[in-house]
Structure 1
Amino acid sequence: MEPVLLGAVTILALLEQAYFSLQVIYARRKYKVSPPNTSGPPEFERVFRAQVNCSEYFPLFITALWTSGIFLHQGLSCVCGLLYLYGRLQYFWGYAASSQGRLAPLYFCAKALWALIGCSSVGVVLSFCRMYLKVDLLQITASALR
Structure 2
Amino acid sequence: MRDQVDQLATITVLGVLEQAYFALQVIYARRKYKISPPETTGHPEFERIFRAQANCSEYFPIFISLLWIAGIFFHQGVTVACGLLYLYTRLKYFQGYAVAAQGRLGPMYASALLLWLLLGLAMAGLLAHFLQPLSST
Q: TM-score range by the shorter chain?
A: over 0.9
**Equivalent residue number for residue 37 of structure 1:** 39
1:120 is aligned with what amino acid? A
CA distance in 2, matches of 1:27, 1:62: 27
TM-score if structure 2 supplies the norm length?
0.95
Higher relative contact order (CA 8 A, sep 6+): 2
CA distance in 2, matches of 1:65, 1:58: 10
CA distance in 2, matches of 1:16, 1:40: 25
2:42 is aligned with what amino acid? G
TM-score if structure 1 supplies the norm length?
0.89
1:34 is aligned with what amino acid? S
**Equivalent residue number for residue 81 of structure 1:** 83
2:101 is aligned with what amino acid? S
Structure 1 residue 21 corresponds to structure 2 residue 23: yes
1:114 is aligned with what amino acid? W
Superposed displacement of residue 88, structure 1: 0.1
Structure 1 residue 127 corresponds to structure 2 residue 129: yes
Identity within the alignment, %: 59
2:112 to 102, 105, 110: 110
1:104 is aligned with what amino acid? G
In structure 2, the gaps of 5 or more residues are none
Superposed displacement of residue 131, structure 1: 5.4
Runs of 4+ in 1 over 2 A off after TM superposition: none
1:3 is aligned with what amino acid? V
**Equivalent residue number for residue 11 of structure 1:** 13
Superposed displacement of residue 47, structure 1: 0.1
Task: Decide which structure has the larger Cα Rg and report it.
Answer: 1
